Amino acid sequence: MATRQTQGLARLMRAPAIILLFLWMIVPLGMTLYYSFLNYNLLNPGMTSWAGWFNYQYFYSDPAFFAAIWNTLVLVLGVLAITVIGGIAIAMLIDKPIWGQGIVRILVISPFFVMPPVAALIWKNMIMHPSYGVLADIARFFGASPVDWFAQYPLTSIILIVAWQWLPFATLILLTALQSLDTEQMEAAEMDGAPAHARFLYLVLPHMARAITVVILIQTIFLLGIYAEILVTTNGGPGFASTNLTFLIYRAARLNFDIGGAAAGGIIAVILANLVAIFLMRAVGRNLD
Amino acid sequence: MGQITLQGVAKRFGEVEVIPPLDLAIDDGEFVVFVGPSGCGKSTLLRLIAGLEDVSGGRILIDGKDATDASPAKRGLAMVFQSYALYPHMSVRKNIAFPMKMAGVPQDEQNRRIEAAAKALNLTDYLDRRPGQLSGGQRQRVAIGRAIVREPAAFLFDEPLSNLDAALRVGMRLEISELHNRLKTTMIYVTHDQVEAMTMADKIVVLQAGRIEQVGSPLDLYHSPRNVFVAGFIGSPKMNLFSGAPAAEYGAATIGVRPEHIRISATEGKWKGRIGVSEHLGSDSFFYVEDTGLAETVTVRSTGEVNLHHGDTVWLTPDEDKIHKFDKNGDRI
């Protein structure tokens, strides 16, 4: 099929698209890398000079740095745990034929259509607010004192909000996987004497392994960059309790106008994302074969 | 032991009655085949026996004990599905071990039974493969292996050969028959293929629209079909059925003559016709005779080589004492 001539021609025809993609990736990355070695502050843009590794040292010695990396990992893993486990549970519930199935499925999926800042504001002002939030009303009804979610459990609150947004995505992907499960296999297992939990463990979970992998990989990409929910709720606080790496970079760039420092943070974030990606592909990537 | 008795078993899906109440007794060690056209309820009946569907009425007795409300696992029956229903992410060994693992059979006993089943089914070399790496016939054997190791009271087969090609089907048919001769366990086998039914069964149950049309040995059904439906369904090629004047001559509403019970001649006979298609197989010759005034085509089978071809005018003579007579309700006279 592929003779030497057609291979050469194919390479030539592919080249424009690949070169464009490469530039699209390498130019911003190169500029970020370049800025990260500059003393470049928007308050004083004329005084740009070569900084060497100073920006990295500065970012590294920032007391918020390790807190931000830790918060990033907790946020990603926490949301992944809630969405994968919850997604499997909800998918199995709405996979069963029930009355009003269509409406139930639309309701389950709808949080995904709400924009992140809007969702975060709704949670902040209508659900988790310590004086007029729904959770506060419920706490008072039972005679307990209301919880000030964003002051007492800032990171947990953000994990809950983000998990609420991503649960529909996980549910949708896992539901389609569940629907492709062969019913005769389940019946065969039933005749083989497998109770419901064994059928789940030996048939349903292995069948969904690939879909779970897809959910984990795609969500990780987006969860590493969570930003809007933090901005409109806790603003990274109290202290640095809910600051993740993305938000730390935002602070450097937009609050301190320190372009060099923000660029250095960006490069660190890219390295962290790649580390997470390598770890994930090792851990779950073989399910994609 | 594997004695199964159905007493007034019925099945309704909502308002639709799929199986009106029916009675059937299956003796220990029998090879029973449910046969009928598609949609006749034969698979549903098998699933009722397996416990995968709930009965709408009646009782199912297994070895004399009421199993109507027992769960599928508690009935001690093993089933082989049309799609094989192997567990795709488990090796052949783990597939076969699965029912024993669920039953808590000790590990060395599991291994012993797996080895025995693999040897009997020629699967020893494939034990560590996944189902996806096996051919259709091998998958079928794994499915049978998974059923054998449970040592069930009866095997249930749901059209197990319909996904195999013709040559493999004949081979697997023989293997299942040999398996039955060796194990002497009750087997219930569902098929729409009357050749499978005739070759394998001790007892055939012919079903139509959920009703049992006739129960009997293959040759009973062949020699004395109880009605027109069974007459037309059993036997290949199909029995010729004539109604009207030629039937009235024999005092019946419909008469049936099997293709092998009609003599064909180029010179003399009872009914005159013209050959439409002739098939010469060497051992047999089949003629599809047209323009007889009896039916659209009359099928004739003669043994050996007969020098008659398309367009030849022929005369047909039925074997008088092999003519089946049916009244106007379609029942045998």
Contacts of A193 in chain B (CB under 8 A): 73, 99, 102-103
Tens-binned pLDDT, residue by residue, of chain B (333 aa)? 788 999 989 998 888 888 889 899 999 999 999 998 888 888 899 999 998 988 888 899 998 888 888 888 888 899 999 888 899 889 999 999 999 988 888 999 899 999 988 888 888 888 899 998 888 888 888 999 999 898 888 999 998 888 888 888 888 889 899 989 988 999 999 998 888 899 999 999 999 988 899 999 999 999 999 999 999 899 888 999 988 888 888 888 899 999 999 999 888 888 888 999 999 888 889 999 988 878 888 999 988 778 888 888 999 999 888 899 998 888 888
Q: Between chains, do B73 and A190 touch, taking CB under 8 Å as contact?
A: yes
B42 within 8 A of B36, measured Cβ to Cβ = yes
CB atoms within 10 A of CB B188: 26
Chain B hits for A190, CB-CB cut-off 8 Å, are 52, 71-73
b/e code B19-48 from CB counts within 10 Å (16+ = b):
bbbbebebeebbbbbbbbeeebbbbbbbbb
Task: Examine residue A195 and say whether the peptide bond preceding it is cis (omega within 30 degrees of 0).
Answer: no
Cβ contacts of A236 within 8 Å, gap of 6 or more: A230, A242, A243, A247, A248, A251
Q: What is the mean pLDDT of residues A60-71?
A: 84
Q: Is pLDDT of A283 > 80?
A: no
Chain A residue numbers with beta carbons less than 8 Å from the beta carbon of B85 are 182, 184-185, 187-188
Q: Can you give the pLDDT at residue B76?
A: 87
> Residues A271-287: what's their mean pLDDT?
82
- How many independent structural domains does chain B possess? 2
CA nearest to A192 within chain B: B99
B103 has a chain A CB within 8 A of its CB: yes
Residues 6+ apart with CB under 8 A from A182: B83, B85
Q: Which residue in the set A185, A207, A209 is minimally distant from B85, CB to CB? A: A185
Residues B206 and B230: beta-carbon distance below 8 Å: yes
Predicted confidence band of residue A78 (pLDDT cuts 50, 70, 90): very high
- Among chain B residues, the shortest Cα distance to A182 is held by B85
The answer to whether the Cβ–Cβ distance between B87 and A189 falls below 8 Å is: yes
Residues of B in contact with A184 (CB under 8 A): 81-83, 85
**Do B179 and B102 share a structural domain?**
yes
Task: Name the residue with higher pLDDT: A284 or A217.
Answer: A217
Rounded Cα gap, residues B326 and A167, in angstroms: 68
Which of B52, B72, B87 lies closest to A185 in CB terms?
B87
B21 touches chain A (CB under 8 A): no
d(CA A211, CA A179): 12
CATH class of A36-288: mainly alpha
pLDDT for residue A287 is more than 80: no
B residues 104-163 closer than 8 Å to A (CB): 146, 150
* Whether residue B286 sits in one domain with residue B151: no
Of A185, A191, A202, the CB nearest to B79: A191
Interface check A181 vs B, CB under 8 A = no
Q: How far is A231 from chain B (nearest CA, A)?
A: 45
CATH of the domain at B138: 3.40.50.300
Do B125 and B196 belong together in one domain?
yes
Optimal mutation site among B52, B82, B95, interface A, most CBs of chain A within 10 A: B52
Q: In terms of domains, do B154 and B208 share one?
A: yes
A192:B52 CB<8 A: no
CA angle B270, B272, B273 (to 5 degrees): 140
H or E stretch covering B189: strand B186-191
CA atoms within 13 A on the CB side of B174: 5
* B226, B212 Cβ separation under 8 angstroms: no
Domain co-membership, B28 together with B110: yes
A255 pLDDT more than 90:
no
CB-closest option in A193, A202, A206 to B73 = A193
Boundary (domain end) residue, out of B180, B206, B230: B230
Q: Does A199 touch chain B (CB under 8 A)?
A: no
CA distance B69 to B62: 12
DSSP letter, residue B104: T
pLDDT band at A263 (very low <50, low <70, confident <90, very high): confident
Strands lying side by side in the sheet with B203-208: B77-80, B154-158, B186-191, B31-35, B203-208, B211-216
A287 contacts on B by Cβ (under 8 Å)? none
Residue A276: the pLDDT is 84
Taking an 8 Å cut-off on Cβ atoms, the answer to whether B89 and A206 are in contact is: yes
Q: Is the pLDDT of residue A1 over 70?
A: no
Residues B174, B138 share a domain:
yes
Q: Are B86 and B132 in contact (CB under 8 A)?
A: no
Q: Does residue B307 sit within a domain?
A: yes
CB B190 within 8 A of CB B159: yes
| B182 part of a folded domain | yes
Last residue of a domain, one of B206, B230, B254: B230
Cβ–Cβ of B102/A192 closer than 8 Å? yes
What does B234-295 look like in DSSP terms, one character per residue?
A: SSSSPPEEEESHHHHTTTSSEEEE-GGGEEEESS--SEEEEEEEEEE-SSEEEEEEE--SSS
The per-residue DSSP string of chain A comes to ---HHHHHHHHHHHHHHHHHHHHHHHHHHHHHHHHTTEE-BTTSTT--EE-TTHHHHHHHH-HHHHHHHHHHHHHHHHHHHHHHHHHHHHHHHHHS--TTHHHHHHHHHGGGGS-HHHHHHHIIIIIS-TTTSHHHHHHHHTTPPPP-HHHHSHHHHHHHHHHHHHHHHHHHHHHHHHHTS-HHHHHHHHHTT--HHHHIIIIIHHHHHHHHHHHHHHHHHHHTT--HHHHHTTTT-STTTT--HHHHHHIIIIIS-BHHHHHHHHHHHHHHHHHHHHHHHHHHGGGG-
Residues B165 and B271 in one domain: no
Q: Residue B121 — φ and ψ, nearest 5°? A: -105, 10
What CATH number has the domain bearing residue B253? 2.40.50.140
Asked if B54 has any chain A CB less than 8 Å from its own CB, the reply is no
Please give the C-alpha separations between residue A39 and each of A53, A62, A138, A192, B288, in angstroms, as whole numbers. Answer: 10, 17, 52, 70, 98
A277–chain B nearest CA distance, Å:
26
- Clarify whether residues B147 and B269 are in a common domain: no
Which of B230, B255, B270 is the endpoint of a domain?
A: B230
| Residue numbers of the domain that contains B226 | 4-230
Regarding whether B21 and B152 lie in a shared domain, the answer is yes
Torsion of CA A204, B128, B189, A185, to 10 degrees: 10
Place of tokens 């979610």: A149
Q: Are residues B151 and B268 in the same domain?
A: no
Q: What is the pLDDT of residues B78-104, one digit of tens each?
A: 999 988 889 988 999 999 999 998 888
Residue A237 has pLDDT above 90, yes or no: no
Q: By CA distance, what is B74's nearest residue in A?
A: A193
Which backbone phi and psi does A193 adopt, to 5 degrees?
85, 20
Same domain, B167 and B279: no
Mean pLDDT of A46-71: 82
User: Do A234 and A228 meet the contact criterion of CB atoms below 8 Å apart?
Assistant: no
Inter-chain residue contact A192 with B146, CB threshold 8 Å? yes
* Residue among B82, B83, B99 whose CB faces A192 most closely: B99
* Residue B201 sits in the same domain as residue B135: yes
Q: Is the ipTM of this complex over 0.90?
A: no
φ and ψ at A231, to 5 degrees? -60, -45
Pairs of residues, one from chain A and one from chain B, whose beta carbons lie less than 8 Å apart: 57
Q: CB of A97 within 8 Å of any CB in chain B?
A: no
Chain A residue with Cα closest to B148 = A192
Answer yes or no: is B160 within a domain.
yes
Name the residue in chain B with its Cα closest to that of A209. B89
Predicted confidence at residue B250, as pLDDT, reads 86
Residue written as token pair 């095997």:
B155
Give yes or no for a contact between B127 and B118, defined as CB atoms under 8 angstroms apart. yes
Contact between B22 and B206 (Cβ < 8 Å): no
Out of A187, A190, A203, the one facing B87 most closely (by C-beta) is A203
pLDDT of residue A289: 65
Minimal Cα–Cα distance from B152 to chain A, Å? 10
- Confidence class for position A2, pLDDT limits 50, 70, 90: low
- Cα distances (angstroms) measured from residue B97 to each of B51, B93, B104, B187, B294: 22, 6, 10, 21, 59
Contact list in A for residue B78 (CB cut-off 8 A) is: 191
Whether B11 is in a domain gets the answer yes
With tokens 């003399």, the residue in question is B268
- Residue among B54, B89, B140, B159 with most chain A CBs within 10 A, to mutate: B89
Q: Is pTM, for the whole model, over 0.80?
A: no
Domain ranges in chain A?
Answer: 1-27, 36-288
Contact between chains at B83 and A190 (C-beta distance less than 8 A): no
Could you tell me which residues come within 8 angstroms of residue B41 by beta carbon, excluding any fewer than 6 positions away?
B11, B18, B19, B207, B209, B210
Contact yes or no for B102 and A193 at CB 8 A:
yes
The alpha-carbon gap from A193 to the nearest alpha carbon of chain B, in Å, equals 4
Q: Considering the domain boundaries, does residue B333 fall inside one?
A: no
Residues near B202 by beta carbon (within 8 Å), at least 6 away in sequence: B30, B31, B32, B217
Residue B83 burial (10 A CB sphere; 0-12, 13-18, 19+): middle
B62 has which bridge partners?
B4, B65
List, in order, residues 6 or more apart from B194 with CB less than 8 Å away: B35, B233, B234, B235, B236
